[in-house]
């Protein structure tokens, strides 16, 4: 083995260091100006035109912990910010959330295996009802219940995909079935989310997601893709029209929350 080539011990040490850094990061950070991205990409000038375009449309961002759960955490945080203290949005979202246990049982989950996560999710949503709930209340809620909330979001995503497998299986490329896809890419904690997971969860919860891609693709503007909650169906899966899309900034393998002007 070449002296410059890392051995297994070196690789394991590096992986531990990366995990430790991730665990030290806040679950969801404080609001930051978009200009912090200029500092981050100062040595990668190819990104700077896209960052400058972002400044004209977005006012702030919140970084999320890079542990593989960032999409689910960021999306829920964005929803909770919108429903906190807003009676109309809160009532509509809570009504939908209360139907989700039966929905997941209908997808094949054992009730006894998931009802604790469901109950924590419902209690979390209910806690945001009082007038005056704010982002600080959402931050405290996340610190308390992050694991339960992320796990339940994964269950919802998996259940939706399984109950609509005929719509999603044609998009699979490296998994033989939706069941296998969910078992490997959705259900386990710390596995990253991609298009199928984003589409499924936004359809089930009824709140659109707009993903802004800050990557090395051509052009000087970051591409955007909105995942719309679809209407119709026996599950009453329609958009919560009073909620605005949750905007997420995507860098390869990671999602942060981003706020429009």
The question of whether 8 is a catalytic residue gets the answer: no
Rounded Cα gap, residues 54 and 219, in angstroms: 13
> Nearest Cα to 258, choosing from 27, 74, 66, 68?
74
Catalytic residue of the set 182, 204, 254, 256: 254
Using a 10 angstrom Cβ sphere, with 0-12 exposed, 13-18 middle and 19 or more buried, the burial of residue 20 is exposed
* Secondary structure class of 64 (helix, strand, coil): strand
DSSP-derived letter for residue 61 is: E
Nearest 5°: the CA angle 72, 78, 83 is 120
Rounded Cα gap, residues 144 and 80, in angstroms: 14
Rounded Cα gap, residues 255 and 213, in angstroms: 9
Q: Which two tokens stand for residue 98?
A: 């209360």
The question of whether 67 is a catalytic residue gets the answer: yes
The question of whether 182 is a catalytic residue gets the answer: no
Catalytic residue of the set 67, 90, 243, 256: 67
* Catalytic residue list: 67, 70, 254
């Amino acid at each position: 083995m070449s002296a410059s080539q890392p051995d297994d011990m070196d690789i394991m040490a590096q992986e531990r260091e990366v995990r430790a850094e991730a665990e030290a990061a806040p679950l969801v950070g404080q609001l930051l100006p978009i200009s912090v991205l200029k500092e981050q990409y100062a040595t990668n000038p190819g990104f700077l035109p896209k960052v400058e375009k972002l400044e004209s449309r977005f006012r702030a961002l919140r970084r999320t912990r890079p542990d593989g759960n960032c999409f689910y955490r960021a999306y829920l945080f964005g929803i909770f910010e919108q429903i906190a203290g807003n009676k109309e949005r809160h009532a509509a979202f809570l009504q939908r959330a209360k139907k989700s246990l039966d929905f997941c049982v209908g997808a094949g989950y054992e009730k006894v295996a998931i009802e604790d996560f469901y109950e924590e999710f419902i209690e979390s949503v209910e806690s945001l009802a009082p007038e005056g709930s704010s982002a600080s209340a959402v931050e405290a809620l996340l610190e308390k219940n992050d694991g339960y909330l992320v796990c339940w979001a994964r269950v919802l995503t998996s259940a939706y995909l399984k109950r609509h497998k005929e719509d999603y299986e044609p998009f699979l490329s490296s998994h033989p079935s939706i069941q296998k896809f969910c078992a490997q890419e959705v259900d386990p904690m710390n596995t990253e989310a991609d298009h199928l997971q984003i589409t499924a969860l936004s359809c089930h919860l009824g709140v659109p997601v707009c993903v802004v891609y800050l990557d090395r693709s051509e052009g000087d503007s970051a591409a955007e893709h909105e995942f719309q909650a679809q209407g119709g169906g026996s599950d009453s899966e329609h958009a919560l029209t009073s909620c605005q899309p949750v905007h997420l900034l995507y860098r390869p393998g990671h999602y942060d929350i981003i706020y429009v002007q």
